[in-house]
Amino acid sequence: MTGHEILPHALSESVVLRRATREDMPAIVALLADDQLGRERDSITEPEDMEPYLRAFEAIDEDPAHLLVVVVLGSSVIGTMQLSFLPGLARRGALRAQIEAVRVASSARNSGVGNQMITWAIGEARRRNCALVQLTTDKRRTDAHRFYSRLGFVASHEGMKLAL
Amino acid sequence: MTGHEILPHALSESVVLRRATREDMPAIVALLADDQLGRERDSITEPEDMEPYLRAFEAIDEDPAHLLVVVVLGSSVIGTMQLSFLPGLARRGALRAQIEAVRVASSARNSGVGNQMITWAIGEARRRNCALVQLTTDKRRTDAHRFYSRLGFVASHEGMKLAL
């Protein structure tokens, strides 16, 4: 399905942010697994382990309310995130942008790529007339809180989860 | 649009949880405004103030990923919440249920209605094979944190917002 976003977007001469494709999925799942908190939740040991991710990719990709992006350096995926654009009644019927599943490859950390990704997401949210950008981050990721605070996010809410 | 939920659902002999309609909007907006934190954000003084809410209602109502419900006692709306069912890659491509804009009329607080609403939402999330139910609550709503904790939610995340 076509979204409304203006992509691909060059973050620098060699780094491009673009819509993810099905072919990016192994690299994206590897990024999810290459993470202190995601290692047990998202490791791939058998080929069939990819199937639930591919089904989720189809659901995201076919719904214009969701946008999964990757950041590539040459042919390497070095970052990913999902944006969702959610209608709601509160705050005078404001559309919200929600950012989920932000990952930057360990090789690309502290290079400014994460900052460029979130800055792009904020711009895209503004372009779609969202009144708010929201995300939750695990309280154990203290570096992430500082990172988002520097970008203007305020930790005003408790993020509560119930696993089923 | 038709959702997949099994509604209306009787919470008690006289209290029913059902899908919201366009005709419920004035009562829902009144609930949003009848709230310590929402008073300035969601008050209605002119008829045209309803328009952005009605547009948001249409967007929610036409997308099967979203479900806006009301709880009614006779013909009075005493509660509302929005559920969103969001595909994602993390946690093996888990579908998440997100709860937003939960409000219970001041006349109905401490009656168990809020508990019944969230319990129903958790059951609906389970029925739709969600792996997780998530929500954020303003850190100033300390009563709400205790309420959700009693229902099994864990305040594991920082909820970060950026107003545009």
* Cα B41 from chain centroid (whole Å): 17
Whether the ipTM is more than 0.95: the answer is no
Q: Domain for residue A161, yes or no?
A: no
- pLDDT tens-digit readout, A106-129: 999 888 999 999 999 999 999 999
What average pLDDT does range B105-121 have in this prediction? 93
Q: Domain for residue B164, yes or no?
A: no
Q: Domain for residue A64, yes or no?
A: yes
- Work out the pLDDT band at B2, boundaries 50, 70, 90: very low
Which pairing describes strands A154-163 and B154-163: parallel, antiparallel, or unpaired?
antiparallel
Q: What total number of domains does chain A contain?
A: 1
Q: For CA atoms B159, A72, A50, A60, give the dihedral sign.
A: positive
Which residue range forms the structural domain that includes residue B87?
9-150
- Write out residues 6-45 of A within 8 Å (CB-CB) of B: 28-29, 32, 38, 41-42
Burial of residue A157, with CB atoms counted within 10 A of its CB: 0-12 exposed, 13-18 middle, 19 or more buried: buried
For chain A, give the mean pLDDT.
91
Going by C-alpha positions, the residue among A13, A19, A24, A12 that lies closest to residue A75 is A24
3-state SS track over B19-50: ECCHHHHHHHHHHHHCCCCCCCCCCCCCHHHH
Percent of residues in chain A assigned helix, strand, coil, to nearest 5: 35, 30, 35
Contact B157 A162 (CB under 8 A): no
Amino acid at A11: L
Going by C-alpha positions, the residue among B46, B48, B56, B49 that lies closest to residue B80 is B56
For residue B161, what is the nearest residue in chain A, using CA coordinates? A134
Q: Quick one: pLDDT at residue B110?
A: 85
Contact B101 A84 (CB under 8 A): no
- Work out the pLDDT band at A2, boundaries 50, 70, 90: very low
Rounded CA separation A96/A86 (Å): 5
Q: Domain for residue B161, yes or no?
A: no
Question: Does residue A4 register a pLDDT over 80?
Answer: no
What average pLDDT does range B67-93 have in this prediction? 95
Q: Domain for residue A156, yes or no?
A: no
CATH of the domain at B59: 3.40.630.30
Q: Quick one: pLDDT at residue A110?
A: 85
Query: Which residues of chain B neighbour A156 with C-beta distances below 8 Å?
Result: 138-139, 159-161
Rounded to two decimals, what is the model's pTM?
0.92
Question: Does residue A1 register a pLDDT over 60?
Answer: no
Q: Domain for residue A162, yes or no?
A: no
Pick the residue of A22, A81, A84, A89 with the most B CBs within 10 A to test the interface with B by mutation.
A89
Q: Domain for residue A106, yes or no?
A: yes
Q: Domain for residue B1, yes or no?
A: no
